[in-house]
Structure 1
Amino acid sequence: MSTIVVTGADLAPQALELLDGYEMVYAGKTPTEEDMVALCRRHNPVAIIVRYGKVTAAMMDAAPALKVIAKHGTGTDTIDKVAAKARGIEVVAAVGANAAAVAEQSLALMLACAKSVVELNDRMHHGHWDKATHKSLELGSRTVGLVGLGAIGQRFARMADAMGMRVIGFDPYAKDVPDYIKVVDLDTIWRESDVVSLHCPLTDDNRGMLNATALGKCKRGVIIVNTARGGLVDEGALLAAIQAGQVASAGLDSFAIEPLTAGHPFQKQERIVMSPHIGGVTGDAYVNMGVGAARNLLAVLAHA
């Protein structure tokens, strides 16, 4: 019986039904490279489903039968795609499977920042009543700039448009962009946006794209939202921009190093609203991503 290794502790029952006939091996929620190399040597899987951690060349070399690496979700930056291509191993992603979940998280973070939800909640719990002194930001008619117009970016754009926001977007690879999104260059995103929201994959070309230079081009008081990849943001530059008032607030679901390290300066910054990279973690998305990963790898194996 052929084996599939899952870099996680479980998989949706609907996905397991599709994979009936394969031996499933689970690496747990925090598999190290050494753990994965040992599992690959022991089981020689034909496929790996990637939920947590990285997939490296060493793991691929430990599994000579490996034909496909299927991402449980959309972001494939944790997979060494160059090594996979060199070994004839296909890398596939469950594109769009968590689009609704991540877009909703982006909306939640944007609203939390604009309406000071976390700060006001905390003050209310401590007995304060700030009605006479606090003014929140009204988002209707404001401009939101999206970097990345894939399934998640376009879904978020639809919600922002429904709120009466002006939506501009940058994505050199996007096709069939709906007419309520005005496609612009990156400098226009920085210059015109009241809210900047990141929805692109992490590549060597865009790593640290939201740096001091980009933030300096933005409107003073801009809101930054990132539910994509932490590596897109220069965290030191963002913190400095928040402390200087150039950035009013930030809503972040992803970070350069995850989990967030103890004592990280973001933890002491009230104007940064954070969640632990759970934008795509809903019951529905869990099923959709598992089924998507299963179907993708089965399609590859059928032609292998």
Structure 2
Amino acid sequence: MSGKVVLVTGHQLYDEARALLDANGIDIVYSEERIDSAELAAIAAQHRVDGIIVRQGVIDDTVMAASDRLVVLSRHGVGVDLIDLEAATRRGLPVLKATGANASSAAEHTIGLIYALIKDFFALDRSVRQGHWGKHGHIGREIAGLRLGLIGCGAIGSIVARTATRLGMQVQVFDPATAVPDGIGRTSSLDELLTTSEVVSLHCPLTAQNMHMMNADTLWRMPRGAFLINTARGGLVEEDALIAGLQSGHLGGAALDCYAQEPPPQHHPLWQMSNVILTPHIAGAGRSGMKAMAMTSVKNVLDTFAGHPLRREVLANPAVVGGPLVSPAIKFE
């Protein structure tokens, strides 16, 4: 394998993952953060990279065409919405995911956001810090008994489902393509889930077909006072419609880890809302999860270099080996 070069689209890689590449004689090239595809293509061409570990940035056909030695795209994570799958398939490039690597971390973050939102933790904290002791004026809500609807029940969603069930929540799932854990209800339609869930949490990848799936129509199907959690992809939610739903009082609150633009622009209306909790797209960034993502992304590269068969569970574009290209209206992780 010596003489091969891997581009990491970011400024760092977990120590153990870097050591694994070093041990196999692989040279590593890093890019700056928030770099555009033209700049990535220039780096790929300059170093004639054999593989790309995708941490951030858009990987389009320009990037793929830049190196005549490129044989694999390995995602440092599970979302592949920033990679042109059709272009990769045309070029015979497998796009591999770190499936399940950060699932526990992302699921724990989701449960934490549900707790913080429903129990008003941040609003109460601000109130106390401002000198208010509103013990007798606040009536809280219980998590147990609330109806939680999950859109998507893959590696992350299934952990959320099991954990929420143990907390006493009534969990139901809309995911036509994936088996759900034992004891978890499945709705026959998205509309059924939205109209019967007091908390809705998103756990599906972003595709061209489900862009803005939570919009002025679908958000208003949720019961008045319902809550929205999004730790998946910002593009799943039409933010103007979400803001309108929150301002009108139709929605009780929202907790977001991802946004239409990252970072969101200064003075974004969501920043001013007391019933919204915001985190900087770090749901899957726990220590164990980050290490697992890095190690899996590197192992996927090494397996490809070694000519090992591609594993279906990590392959985002099965058409590259003769299977159907994964692009249904809602394809769940």
Residue 149 of structure 1 pairs with residue 142 of structure 2: no
Task: List runs of 5+ in structure 1 lacking aligned partners.
Answer: none
- In structure 2, C-alpha distance between the alignment counterparts of 1:8 and 1:39, rounded to whole Å: 12
Task: For 1:156, give the aligned amino acid.
Answer: V
Aligned runs of 1:106-255 on 2, under 5 Å? 106-175=110-179, 177-184=180-187, 185-255=189-259
In 2, Cα distance between the equivalents of 1:16 and 1:216?
A: 47
Q: How big is the shift at 1:180?
A: 2.3
Once the two structures are TM-superposed, the CA of residue 159 in structure 1 deviates from its matched residue by 1.0
Do the aligned partners of 2:225 and 2:250 also contact (CA within 8 Å) in 1? Answer: yes
Q: Secondary structure at the match of 1:82?
A: helix
How far residue 17 of structure 1 moved from its aligned partner, in angstroms, is 2.8
Are the equivalent residues in 2 in contact too, given 1:167–1:180 (CA < 8 A)? no
- The answer to whether the 8 A contact 2:147-2:170 is kept is yes
| Matches of 2:271 and 2:178, distance apart in 1 | 35
CA distance in 2, matches of 1:134, 1:113: 14
1:294 aligns with 2:295: no
Does 1:8 find its partner at 2:10? Answer: yes
SS at match of 1:19: helix
The residue that corresponds to 2:44 in the other structure is: 40
Distance in 2 of aligned mates of 1:30 and 1:213: 33
Secondary structure of the corresponding residue to residue 251 of structure 1: strand
Task: Name the SS for the 1:217 alignment partner.
Answer: coil
Cα shift at 1:155: 0.6
Counterpart CA distance in 1 for 2:101 and 2:116 is 25
Contact 2:162 2:181 in 1 (8 A): no
Letter in 2 for 1:142: L
SS of 1:103's equivalent in the other structure is: helix
Task: Return the alpha-carbon distance in structure 2 between the equivalents of residues 242 and 284 of structure 1.
Answer: 35
Corresponding position: 1:84 with 2:88:
yes
C-alpha distance in 2 between matches for 1:105 and 1:123? 24
CA RMSD in angstroms comes to 1.1
Q: Distance in 2 between matches of 1:38 and 1:71?
A: 20
TM-score between the two structures when normalised by the length of structure 2: 0.89
Q: Deviations over 1:17-62 (max 9, x none)?
A: 3222100001022222232111011011111001111111111111
Structure 2 Cα separation of the partners of residues 202 and 168 of structure 1: 21
Shift of 1:142: 1.1
C-alpha distance in structure 1 between counterparts of 2:61 and 2:271, whole Å: 35
- Is the 8 Å Cα contact of residues 57 and 84 (structure 1) preserved in structure 2? yes
Distance 1:57 1:136 in 2: 52
**Partner Cα separation in structure 2 for residue 294 and residue 139 of structure 1:** 40
Aligned residues: 303
Deviations 1:136-183 (A, max 9, x none): 2211011100001000000111110010111100112203x2122111
Matched, 1:283 2:287: yes
Give the match's secondary structure for 1:4: strand
Q: Which runs of 4+ in 1 moved over 3 A?
A: none
CA distance in 2 between counterparts of 1:180 and 1:53 reads 39
> Displacement, 1:300?
1.9
Contact kept? 1:45, 1:66, Cα under 8 Å:
yes
- Contact kept? 2:148, 2:199, Cα under 8 Å: yes
Which residue in the other structure is 2:276 paired with? 272
For 1:11-22, list aligned pairs within 5 A: 11-20=13-22, 21-22=25-26
Letter in 1 for 2:251: V
Q: Which runs of 5+ in 2 are unaligned?
A: 309-333
Q: Residues 114 and 138 of structure 1 are in contact (CA less than 8 Å); yes or no, is this contact kept in structure 2?
A: yes
